A and B are shown apart, each in its own frame.
Chain A
Amino acid sequence: MKKALVSVAAVAVAIAFSGSAAIAAKCPIKIGGLAPLSAPGAVGGGEAMRDAMLFAERDINAAGGVLGCKVKVVIADTEGLPEKASAIMEKLITQDGVVAIGGGYHSSVGVAAKDVSNARGIPTVFAETWNDTITGDKQQYIFRIAPLSSWASATLWKAALRVPNVKKVAIVTENTDYGIPAAEETSKGLAKNGVKSVIFGVDIGTQDFSGIIQRVKAEKPDYIIVLNTGEAGYNFAQQAADAGIGPQGIPFQAGQVALESKAWWQNVPDGNYAFVQRIGTPVSTWNAKAKKLNEDYKAKTGKGAIESYALEAYDSISILAQAINEAKSTDGAKIVIALENISHDGTLGRIYFPYGSKKDPSVDGKGDEWWHQWPDPAMTMIQYQKEGELSTESVIIWPDKYKTGPAIYVKK
């Protein structure tokens, strides 16, 4: 009888305190960090994001942690696969007990993961997933600091229009939630400006592109845009170069993996003059936080500079930590309110979310994809103009606001 009374009292105490997470936050506070660390995901990008998220953990803890607790970032390998993403989200939430999630590289992963975190009430800030529908579904718990696919596509077609005498563009894309919408948006933008385009879809893990390269060649394009992530981006670029339609044979925009300079030069030795889309402000305009992170990152990884998606990954964790502190709780709904009101000084600049439950995007005539979307990610087009150079030191050829030099357009 005495034992039963003690048990009832213990349960009553537990119930009484359960609504006050700020007082009784379970230490350490865990935040999930999504990154592709195995193929067919973009492993180079994933490793960069993982390192940056662990730096975020270090810096948050050095600054006193969150709600009086240390923060632990639980890294989860998505492999770039949507089915793996759903499983890994369930694991992070139910087994690891994370209270929020950051990171994320592949759009297909974001599309699959967002439904799990929203259903479970776990706030998620996606770092590098571009597909418009990720925020376009207006889910309560989903935020994004990466650009929208439609914005990124606009960069692509606007850069393509600057190629002298461009009449036809070949777009080689992976058939994923990132590639297909980006290719179609780019194609529409080109068509509006009187430029034809042909889209070539390929599987995400394709190694041998010889057949499709012959087909691209037969179209006689004036410019090639590649929207492949992972090693497929390297394979296509070098195989195209061997066939005479690589970066030194024709104006050529490589996939995002080209930002991994060391891997790019090793896998695509004939990759000079490639154009690459880069997210984030130019190095010359980086704030002190970004510069410090860059130095730490270089010292740890031995790389020449930090990649843009690593900066995004760092900020995705930092912003969540700030939101938890401001919410004074690990409760998902309260963190969401804090995120909607946040002003975070990140490595990418000031991050905020103007549209959400307080103000619907339609009020300002914006589409649903602006929901919980940071409106200011900078996008530039760079060009490798010296063999072996770093992507952060390459010439920015567009937009004019950030331009550091003229583009070199190779002659066909």
Chain B
Amino acid sequence: MEFPVFFWAALGWMMFWGVLGSIATRYVYLHKDLDTSSTRLLGSMMGAATGPIGLVPLWIKTPEITTRLIIFATLGTLGVFMTAFALADPGNLCVTNGSFVASQISNGVIIGIIYGFMALGLTLIFSILGVVSFAHGEFYMIGGMVTYFMTTVLFPEVTPIVGIAAACILTFMLGALFERLFLTPMYDGRVDRPVEYGILITFGLAFTLQYFVQATVGANPVKAKRFFDFPRLRLPSAEDPWLIKTSRGNMELFETISISNPRFTAAVMCILVFIALMYFLRHTWTGKALRAVSQDRQAAAIAGINPDRMNMLAFALGSMIAALAGAMLVQAFSWLPQVGAIPALRSFVIVVLGGLGSIPGAFLGGIIVGLVEAAGTGCIPDPQKAASYIPAYGMIVLTLTLLLRPTGLLGRKFASGTHGKF
């Protein structure tokens, strides 16, 4: 960094006014007997973005805090931060190289979609059962393993869809079976501490699945073949393919953005399944029943919905979603029994960031984590450290979000569970 003092001074200024804005705005709104639920977030963002110029009018006028106002202040903060960074490090690739920035953004969005998709399953389980499944990473691993064995070892000629379908069916059944056998004590008062029981029993499942797979298939990394090759395209012409250029394993857009085939396939599949899942939850009776149970179990039961059956469905569906993410990524990453640990950890971060129990929040959280990781990896000046801190980037965003908005980005203040209110 060319002018680190400038950058740190700017950051210090933003932090000072952010902290002051967070504390003082809440106090002002409280003093005027107004809703204070989002005052910390708005005050800190407004303070960081504009300092006293924006804060003083905010304190005087105390307008109603809308989503639009928060977004405006957040974008302002990001703008000021990026400007300070660009002025402090004018030679940085993220400042000088537009193609590089576009590539990093596309990478961040694509991996964010995949992260978000995996986190969907976790948030679905939490919103219905009120338990965080610590076996989520293992279902992800099993999804990949089943697909690998189906498409590469057992039936190499078969279409990858068969392998993916087999992974989904197997994990759905496994999830349903586990829920029936081990999670039902949470609902009927057979255990005194259902939350702790849920954590421990899913931890147990995680270890069992991981070491079962290690014992049966070994711990060597494996990988499925690419599901399909890109057709060879050169548009608008073979001589000057500025719009799109593809090889078997890669796609290049606008001679700028490079997307690998497995990641592209995985991201497209994740979006399609996400749309299907949203349709299922919003427009089918079963989906509506699931949502009803997530909002109020007792009321749902009175309306004729069997909450226990919804529990089973939610756990099976959530586990299947994790497995589907794994099934799509086994062609992109080397796969082994421990492969689920890092994605599972990231999913926990994402669901808390997006708001526990919120499905759109999980998707949004995934994309934010993906973008922040891409920005950190691409822009931190020291290349020896930039990628070493990847796991930390998401945690920083999570910590800041929880400080300013404890319910997460799109979370509800109260989420119901099988064992009462949180």
Contacts and interface: CB of A to CB of B under 8 A. Distances in A.
Does chain A bind chain B?
yes
Contact of B336 (A212, A231, A243): A231
B220 A47 contact: yes
B390 A266 contact: no
B401 interface: no
- Residue in B247, B258, B387 whose Cβ sees the most chain A Cβ within 10 Å: B387
28 contacts: A38-B338, A39-B219, A39-B338, A40-B338, A47-B218, A47-B219, A47-B220, A199-B384, A200-B387, A201-B386, A201-B387, A202-B388, A203-B388, A203-B390, A206-B387, A207-B343, A210-B107, A211-B387, A211-B390, A212-B387, A215-B100, A215-B377, A215-B387, A218-B97, A243-B258, A244-B258, A260-B220, A263-B221
B107 A211 contact: yes
Contact of A211 (B225, B247, B334, B373): B373
Given A211-B377, A214-B107, 10 more contacts: A39-B338, A201-B386, A203-B388, A207-B334, A211-B373, A235-B334, A238-B223, A239-B332, A260-B220, A267-B222
Nearest to A46: B219
Interface string B374-401: 1001100001111110110000000000
Nearest to A43: B219
A365 B334 CA distance: 46
A198 B356 CA distance: 41
Interface stretch (B125-133, B195-203, B260-268, B276-284): B260-268
Given A43-B219, A47-B219, A241 B249 contact: yes
A267 to B, nearest CB: 5
A205 B387 CA distance: 12
A198 B333 CA distance: 25
A380 B221 CA distance: 25
Interface in A350-379: none
Contacts of B181: none
Contacts, number: 128
Interface in A184-203: 198-203
A238 B332 CA distance: 8
A212 B342 contact: no
A286 B89 CA distance: 55
A340 interface: no
Nearest to A184: B384
A268 to B, nearest CB: 8
A43 B250 CA distance: 29
Given A40-B338, A207-B333, A267 B223 contact: yes
Interface in A152-204: 175, 198-203
Interface string B319-334: 0000000000000111
Contacts of B221: 43-44, 230-231, 234, 263, 267
A331 interface: no
Interface in B318-375: 332-334, 336-339, 341-343, 373-374
Contacts of B263: 210
Nearest 9 interchain pairs by C-beta: A211-B377, A242-B260, A39-B338, A231-B334, A231-B221, A43-B219, A201-B384, A212-B387, A210-B107
Contacts of A241: 249
A200 B390 CA distance: 13
A278 B247 CA distance: 32
B104 to A, nearest CB: 6
Contacts of A83: none
Contacts of A132: none
A13 B319 CA distance: 64
A208 interface: yes
Nearest to A77: B219
A82 B339 CA distance: 20
B220 A243 contact: no
Contacts of A381: none
Contact of A218 (B100, B332, B341, B391): B100
A241 to B, nearest CB: 7
B49 interface: no
A39 B339 contact: yes
Contact of A243 (B260, B339, B374, B378): B260
B222 A266 contact: yes
B387 A39 contact: no
Given A200-B387, A202-B388, A242 B261 contact: yes
A215 B263 CA distance: 18
A200 B386 contact: yes
B103 interface: yes
Interface string A221-239: 0000000001100110011
B70 interface: no
Contacts of B220: 43-44, 47, 260, 263
B398 to A, nearest CB: 18
B336 A198 contact: no
B103 A214 contact: yes
Given A43-B336, A210-B263, A212-B377, A242 B250 contact: yes
B214 interface: yes
B250 A39 contact: no
Interface in A318-355: none
A235 B377 CA distance: 17
B23 interface: no
Interface string B204-219: 0000000000100011
